[in-house]
Structure formats: C-alpha cells, structure tokens
Structure 1
C-alpha cells in the first residue's frame, strides 16, 4: 500500500515565516497498474497462503499495516483452524520423481514412504490410481470426488489422483472445512504424468509415494478495516488465503481491494467496511464467519462488492510442451450486479473481455463466495470472478498478471462503485 509523500524544506538560519509553503507532492494513484502490481508481488513474496500457515499470518500483518496507512481502524477476526505442516511430498515411478501435492486432510506415509503396485481397481496392498475430470476441486462446498472415496474405501494403502487441465499442471483441490484425515495418504498428480501413471497401473508396476508432515492446532484471521462515515456502510470483500502462492487467483484481487480501499478512503462522505478473509480454500470458512459476526446485516448495508478469483490475469496455453502467456485475459470472466446496477457496470467495463455483459444477480446465482453473499440477501451486490488454467497450480506466480492487466479492471470497478452510489 502506498502512503502520501510530503516535501519539506529547511534552510539554515531562516525562520519558517520567511519561506513560502511547499506544496505536498501528489499522492500516487492507488489504482495505477504499477502500484497494483507492486502489491501482487509483495503478496506472493510472503510465501504460500494456505490458511493458518506462516505465509497467511504474514499476509494478515501486511494487510493490517496497509489499511492503517490508508486511514482505517483495523481488527482481526480470529478463528481456530488446524494446520498440516507439509514436508516432502512426491511420487516415484521408474526412477523418476513426479510432482505431487496432498489432498486435504492429509494422512502421512511412514517416514521413508511406501511402495506398492499401482492399480486402477485399488484394493488391499495396492496404491489406487484415480483420474479426475477437469475442474474437479476448484469450486466451494462440494463433496470429495466419489472415485477418491471409493479408492480409499477399497482398502488401498494410498491413492494417487490425477488432476487434469489444459496445461497438464497439478491443481490443488478445495476441501470441506475441518474434514477428517483420510484413512490412507491421498496424493494429487499432474495431468502431464497421466499417460505414464495409467500405463503403470495397467501393468501393476511398483510405485513409491511419500507424504511427510504433521497436523498441529493453528489459528487464522480475517482482516477487517473500518472507515466511519455517514449512512449505511459499503462492504468490499476478497479472500486472502489459498493454495500455493496464488498470485493471480488471490493476489490480483487483493491488490485491487487494497487500491479501492485507498481510493475510497479519500471520500469523507462514505462509510466503509473492507474485509479480507481467510479459509477460502476450505469452503470460504472465514467469509462465512464474517457474515455471522462482524458484517453489517443485509438491511443495514448500502452496497456489497465481492472480488473473487483470478479477476485480472492473463490467459495461458501449452505450446511445444511449455506454458506460454497470451496477451489477453481468459474468456471465462464473469461480473455480476444487482439489476439496478447492470447498466452502470456494463458502461464501466465496456470492451473488457468477459466483463462487458454483466450477469443479473437478482435472477442468477454466481460462483464462489459471491454466492454466499447473494444467498444471504445482500443487495445491491456487485461481484466478479474469472477462470485461469493456472488456478491452484504451483505456476500461479506474479507473472500471471501485470500492470496492464490490473489497472483497467481496478479503475472500471472503482467507476462502477461510484456510479452505484450516485
């Protein structure tokens, strides 16, 4: 977050009254692409952002400091949440180590890992192989995939689940809040390794898996900023936690959230509440908590703006075996607004792929945490969310976005909010 710089001049031997007042330097634009991208990089630089981990806790402190600099009073809404401290996690097939990541809630292997025949059918003494449909585990409030449940129930000593996406990446999967640990280790594998794993399963080849780590009691915090003003409050929300570094999934939205918080704080006529919630990858746990205690009631809210996943990222494709960034955003981008705000939203986002035709939130549901706020009756409501082929992957790093991608979305959303309040 940026603060206003002021220039002062002191000249030895002269009294202040003899000098003309020096003008304050203009405050940097908090919605400029340069400022927004600096925040994306700062967020990603704090580490992985899984709920309750060191990276998540560092993010809490960073956001709190930024909000205070913008003139907000802050509070932390804490909640207990178990943390699995992940160590080594890998799959070894034919002497080759494959990328892997646990499916929550993890059960560790023995320290040296375990080796068993790979099998599509699973069963006692086998490591079961499951191939998941694309998109599995990306949404909220969905039960665990039935093939994984069946593989665990088969008595397998471990389960490997292939996550499929167009880039062949391994995608972490969201999980129900505080789900009990699996009865055996469940590891996710990348789609790029699907052919090798399926051939090994057909042949009953020995495969080794290792999942090290331990569970411990932990705590996470929602960060809430309040800037008192007249009238009912405007609420602006975005999640702060997620799998891996999630620079595009979470970072692009957090940067825009910070920019809007700073830009709107210059308006003394606005009553503002901004919240960045933890527990998103666990079915939006922190957002649910905020709506139960901390948020104004729907009847007492002037406007709710929900900033979801991947709101300002570039699209990517696989070319010659490499992930290549395209010059524009993914086509799968959605912005929704309550019916009275559709025209205002469409005008602000004109020409922005996927956002130029707002969804009527009075007539249609929406994905992610936006659905939670809609269901609770918050109106008027504005929300945006987008898809990304790097969603939940280890490659979701700062270069998935940039100043030229962030600024148009941030300024259009700012324009939409001001239009909604007119």
Structure 2
C-alpha cells in the first residue's frame, strides 16, 4: 500500500487512543474483566498486532496473544491448524494523472508484471483495456457471497486488468470476502475507494491510461483456530468469535474479541461451568476456520448446553461524513442484531434493554440470521445466542481503535453476561 495510507493509519490510531481516554476513566482498573477499561485495552492490543488476514504475521501474532490470555485465565489451550493459501501482498495502487489512488486486491490475487499494467481505462473493458466497474454497496461483502457478476464478465471479456469501485457510505475502499481457496483470477483485479469514483469515471470516459500495480506472491501457510477449555460438570457452554479479517479490524473483530476474552475470564473466575471458547481464523474466506471447528473438534449440538456467537462490529460507534470528514457519532450504529433461540427472547430483551438494535431480539427458531450465526443455527445448536452488526467502516482500513471505547463495550458485555448467567 502507498506510504500516505500507512502514515494516515498511524495518525488515526493515535487519535483513537487519545479520544477514548475520557470514556475509560469511568471505570477504575479492578478485578472485573468486563469493566470497560479492561475490554478497551484488549481492543487496542488486538488492533495493534497489525493486519489480520488469515495465515499472515498479524494472524499468527493474534494466535500467540490469545493463547497467553487464555492460559493466564486458567484454560487448557490448543491450536487447531489448517493449511491455507496466503497471498503475501507487497504493493498495490492505481496511478492516475500523477496521483496514487488507494487500492487493494480482490481475492484470489494474481500479480501484475514488474512495473504494473498501463492501458486505457474503459467502462466496457475488452481486449487491450483496463476495465472500470462500479459495484453496488454490499456486493461481495458477505459470507458465502458469489463474486460480483460484473467482475466475472470483465475478466472473461479479455480485459488486461479490472478496477472495481467499492461504494461505501463514507467513501472508503472496502475489501470483499471470497470463497475459500478460490482460484486466482486470470488477470489482476483491484478495488478502489468510492471517493475516487468521479475521477476514475472521467478518466474512463476520456479513454485515459492508468497504471495498475499489484505486487506479491502466494504461499501455503498454516492458519490456526485458538481453543480454550475449562473442564466442569455437565455439558459445555461454547463461546465463539472470529479472529481474522482484512485489515486492523478494531471494530469488526476487536470489539467482539475483547468481549469474548472478558466473558472467558469471568466464567473461569466466577463459575464452575464446563466452558469451551474458540476464536476462528479464515473468517474473510466464508468462515473457513469456524466450519473446520464445527466439523471436527466442536461438541455436537445435543452435547452442548449453549452456544454464544459473537460476530462483527458488535460494540462500535456510528460514523458519518461531516464537512467532508469522517466523524464519530455519539451513538452506536443502527444495524445491530441480537439473535436468540425462542425461549430466550424475553431474557434477551431484558438483558439488552435500552441498547439500540439489541433490545428487540430476533427469534432464531423462527428466523435466520446473518454471518456465522447462521452457520451455528443451521447445524442445530440450541439454545443459541448471537450478536452481529453492520458498520460504515466495515472491511475498511479506517476501522481503527477509535471506533469504540470502554463506554461502548461494557454494556454489550454485560448483556451477554446476564444471558449466560440466567439461561
């Protein structure tokens, strides 16, 4: 990625830590692992480990960090390894009229020749051209989403490369999920930010040349699910969350991981329950690691007391554009879902009373749910409890530590604590 993006990330990460400190002072440090300050410290620790793509150095560092945290809490910890093809990304950008535009590959990448590919940008693509596409919001972003048909058509139509504009509410470039172990594209396919749409479309209309550069190579590496077990009487309570994602993922993954760790520590210190906690890699590839765990090491539905699935963006502030700048809002995002098995609907509403979106639980016995929660529902785990939410910075490089803080995290953690303690 370009130097300017790296510098911007560093500045924003520092800003996030500074602006969150006043909210953290409401909770003095103490033994309760669900205090907001403790939870937010874990968000910052996770985001600070780097980008979290499956099988990369950031994902490996997350594995080690989680193992240490769970062992310190008294869990027996194991890694569940699986081999995964990892694209080691070197450099990616789009050169247009002397500007370097932020870009990112669409998986599975194929590299450009050294120096990139220079050709006229065209809205219709075709031989000798670089195709320009404008994807609808949400295209290719969810689990088990097929590749956008516009990209497939452009690749098969003979374009030298494809530039796909990802429309995000804040104009950011948003990475797209991909099917597990999908074959590499025949030509380089890169993503561009929505804020660059006008410039790119004007260039395509005029037939101006651009240079697409995508450097990197593919290797096969082990990725790991992290599993903690604390033996106790009866059937186990399982608490799951994904641990991998495209970038720093502070809100998308970090908020849920912090709550997951907080609940794990609370259960180990305060109960005698039989507990299994699992953090799965491969999430951005259709939840690959979660599927692997349920097919191998997970207890069967009939042998499980409860499954709690903590998904994406579960405790993050909303963001909006104000005078052209991305600004945090004083409320959580509106699109938040608490899904619970039918008998727990009333309990869920009480536990999350007053929490936007979560205070009206979705009955999972009557309705499906998004994300990995749908996987566990389909497999028959009951009772099932899960959180998942959308966010305007989902899958973007701007998803940094200031998307949340202790004041946002603690009520969500307390809601789950109340359900687990009561159900």
Normalised-by-shorter TM-score class? over 0.9
Q: CA deviation at 1:385?
A: 0.5
Equivalent position of 2:206 in the other structure: 203
2:405 to 382, 399, 402: 402
Q: Answer yes or no: is the 8 Å Cα contact 1:229–1:268 preserved in 2.
A: no
Equivalent position of 2:269 in the other structure: 266
2:351 to 348, 351, 354: 348
The answer as to 2:103 corresponding to 1:103 is no
Q: CA deviation at 1:27?
A: 5.6
C-alpha distance in 1, partners of 2:323/2:137? 21
C-alpha distance in 2, partners of 1:114/1:123? 15
Q: CA deviation at 1:199?
A: 1.1
1:81 is paired with a residue of what secondary structure? strand
Map 1:10-409 to 2 at 5 A. Answer: 28-409=31-412
Q: CA deviation at 1:114?
A: 1.2
1:265 is paired with a residue of what secondary structure? helix
Q: CA deviation at 1:209?
A: 0.7
C-alpha distance in 1, partners of 2:395/2:60? 20
Q: Answer yes or no: is the 8 Å Cα contact 1:242–1:250 preserved in 2.
A: yes
Q: Give me the CA root mean square deviation.
A: 0.8
The TM-score, its normalising length taken from structure 2, stands at 0.93
Q: CA deviation at 1:255?
A: 0.2
C-alpha distance in 1, partners of 2:169/2:241? 27
Deviations 1:290-316 (Å, cap 9, x if unpaired)?
000110000000000000000000000
Aligned length: 395
Equivalent position of 2:6 in the other structure: none
Q: Answer yes or no: is the 8 Å Cα contact 1:171–1:391 preserved in 2.
A: yes
C-alpha distance in 1, partners of 2:118/2:71? 53
Q: CA deviation at 1:416?
A: 1.2
Deviations 1:20-57 (Å, cap 9, x if unpaired)?
xxxxxx96210011000000000011100000000000
Q: CA deviation at 1:281?
A: 0.1
**Runs of 4 or more above 6 Å deviation:** none
1:170 is paired with a residue of what secondary structure? coil
Equivalent position of 2:22 in the other structure: none
Deviations 1:385-415 (Å, cap 9, x if unpaired)?
0111000000001001101100110111111
Equivalent position of 2:20 in the other structure: none
The TM-score, its normalising length taken from structure 1, stands at 0.93
C-alpha distance in 2, partners of 1:111/1:273? 48
- Could you say which structure has the larger radius of gyration? 1
Deviations 1:326-370 (Å, cap 9, x if unpaired)?
011000000010011111111010000000000000000000000
Higher normalized helix content (fraction of residues): 2
Q: CA deviation at 1:243?
A: 0.6
Q: Answer yes or no: is the 8 Å Cα contact 1:109–1:212 preserved in 2.
A: yes
C-alpha distance in 2, partners of 1:138/1:367? 12
Q: Which runs of 5 or more structure 1 residues have no equivalent in the other structure?
A: 1-25
